[in-house]
A and B are shown apart, each in its own frame.
Chain A
Amino acid sequence: MDLLEVSKLNIRYRTKDRTIHAVRDLSISIKRGEVVGLVGESGCGKSTFGMSLLRLLPVSTDISAKKMMFNAGDGMQAGGIDILELSEKELRRLRWKHISVIFQGSMNSLNPVARIGSQFADAMFWHGFDDETIKNSISSHLELVHLDDSIRKSYPHELSGGMKQRVAIAMALVCSPELVIADEPTTALDVVVQRRILKLLMDTKEKLNLSIIFITHDISLLASIADRVAVMYAGSIVEIGDVRTLFRSPLHPYTKGLMSTIPRVDERQSELVEIHGSPPDLSGSIRGCPFAPRCGIATELCAVEMPQLRVVEGRHMVSCHNVEVQDGKND
């Protein structure tokens, strides 16, 4: 059984004057120990999807899904838990203990008036760890991200950006969750620090058998860290597959476009697909393929009918009318 199974997830933000349909019929499963990269343009709903797994969206938000199951290894109910059915109290138990987050812009995700140590400790304390374990875990997790133990006495403003980021990573891992949602954990950092932190995250992941959903808009990052890559466009996944397959032979025109933004030095960069225009307004309903207006190979069919996500081969799936697939089976 996969750790996380999401099927036909729809999320609508309700604001004063409009409804934004940010996630549209999204389906994905995550295996234990797997790193799935989630990539797409700004505003395509990546964070919204990530936050929905912890039900961290504004209360007015409308979430529905055919299935949204989290199959925790132990401790929680057998047969998995339905994330959408959880009560406040059960949600609190799921959060951080089973699914944790490294936030987009983790720089500001630490409480400025509390010491680092106490910010680790409060999460653990309320998840029922005893003092001894808390103390040891803080030390071992700080060590994990190569931070000195004395940092627990520091306040966030006393740390550099990279240090804060590492604190955020260590903190996300301190209750040994099964799944970590890493929402652009390194965007604000310089390339050297970014590399180091990614390596750290991956090493830690190996040690702890974590699953990670790695959200980014930089597809090139994923080549070295992800097992699978999911490409998201206008609230839906348009292509998903093993990292090698996707990088070698992307099928969806949008994926091809994203790939072509990666600078390459070798000859193979023959098929340069540029993406013109901008993504559709998510507050309206979209007729046909949401990518069609920007697509170079769109046909009449694309303008009227939304393509389904279909299996190309093995775990490689794509939603495009103009890609030949083996069978017409949906997800």
Chain B
Amino acid sequence: MISKRYLLRRLTNMAVIAYGAITLNFFLPRIIPGNPVMANLFGGGGGQIGNPVVVRRLTQEFGLNNPNLLYQYYRYLVELVHGNLGISFYYYPQSVVSVIVQRLPWTLFLAGSGTILAALLGIPLGIFLAWRKGTLPDSLISSAGMLISSIPYFWIGIVLLIFFAVDITIFPVAHAVSQGVTYSSVFAYLGDVLYHAVLPISTLVIALMPGYALQMRNTMITVMHEDYILTAFAKGLPNHVIKNRYAARNAILPVTTHVGIALGYVVGGALMVEYLFAYPGLGYTLFSAIQSEDYPLMQGIFLIISLCVIFANFIVDMIYTLIDPRVSLT
């Protein structure tokens, strides 16, 4: 089991990384020549910029009239601790945090179920292929997988969209729920949510699954050359025991790490998919924030995405710790 001390160490580790992300999120836009944040705010770029109330509040809360960057940084941290990321220009008078809180669950739902489904389908497929290495099914499916994983998310989404929502209209073109409908029960609502999520999630699964499958296949083929696999055969164990308890069980370890590392890309993909399907998550919101030059919102979304990826990596790390006995838990 994981000891308290170990958990504490990992949590501290995560906190340090999160702090780094928070700091970067502050400095990065400010070191860009011309400092778009300030220029945007005072130069009258985006939608609500003319609104003197917004400008005054932001200036005050974040110490923007003080030219000392460190002082601004200090204000930024203080406001952050109080859960204040500023006010959205576009969604004024909503705060950035309240916009994010509304939109984040949709993104988590998409990216989370996309990743989990892709892993749950891809990994067994990889095991299947590795066990039949070099046979016709393996060559065919592996080549197809390589082909699919070279197609960008966006393109997969468009094809699904045109095929299943425009050509044959079995799935909705856009949005997370039907517009202007009252639901008879919670289940009707959930059903509607799932119905709308089919195409976006399928896009993610199709884009991600081949990667997981191939990764699992290749790792397992390498593992199959290990001495302990030969031992397993020598012991006269049935094939399914060798395949699952020896080969796949060992191959899953590096694949888990890979899943963790790829999470950043998955989120990137999810954002694109949201945009494509007008799905009301952070990705969709981010695009409208960019269009309307809503800098506080953009910054807030970037920050929250980094924090989510960092946290998800922590979870993957914990899972890895639980399944690999060689990781020291003390």
Contacts and interface: CB of A to CB of B under 8 A. Distances in A.
- A complexed with B: yes
Interface of A: 54, 56, 91-97, 100-101, 103, 105-106, 108-114, 122-123, 126-127, 155, 157
B195 interface: no
B228 A111 contact: yes
Interface in B25-44: none
Nearest to A118: B245
Contact of A113 (B227, B232, B237, B250): B250
Given A100-B234, A103-B230, A114-B249, 12 more contacts: A54-B234, A92-B238, A95-B234, A96-B236, A101-B231, A108-B227, A111-B232, A113-B249, A122-B245, A123-B236, A126-B238, A155-B326
B236 A126 contact: yes
Contacts of A93: 236
A101 B232 CA distance: 11
Contacts of A97: 236
Given A111-B250, A112-B325, A114-B245, A126 B228 contact: no
Contacts of A112: 228, 250, 325-326
A105 B324 CA distance: 23
A94 B253 CA distance: 32
B interface: dominant SS: helix
A110 B325 contact: no
B236 A113 contact: no
Contacts of B238: 92, 126
B237 A123 contact: yes
Contacts of B246: 111, 114
Contacts of B326: 112-113, 155, 157
B192 interface: no
Contacts of A123: 235-237
Contacts of A101: 231, 234
Contacts of A103: 227, 230-231, 234
Contact of B324 (A106, A108, A109, A113): A113
B139 to A, nearest CB: 16
A180 B210 CA distance: 44
B234 A96 contact: yes
B166 interface: no
Given A103-B230, A111-B228, A155 B325 contact: yes
A169 B245 CA distance: 22
B235 A96 contact: yes
B163 interface: no
Nearest to A101: B234
Contacts of A114: 245-246, 249
B231 A110 contact: yes
B233 interface: yes
Most chain A CB neighbours (cut-off 10 Å) among B230, B232, B236: B236
Contacts of B235: 95-96, 100, 122-123, 126
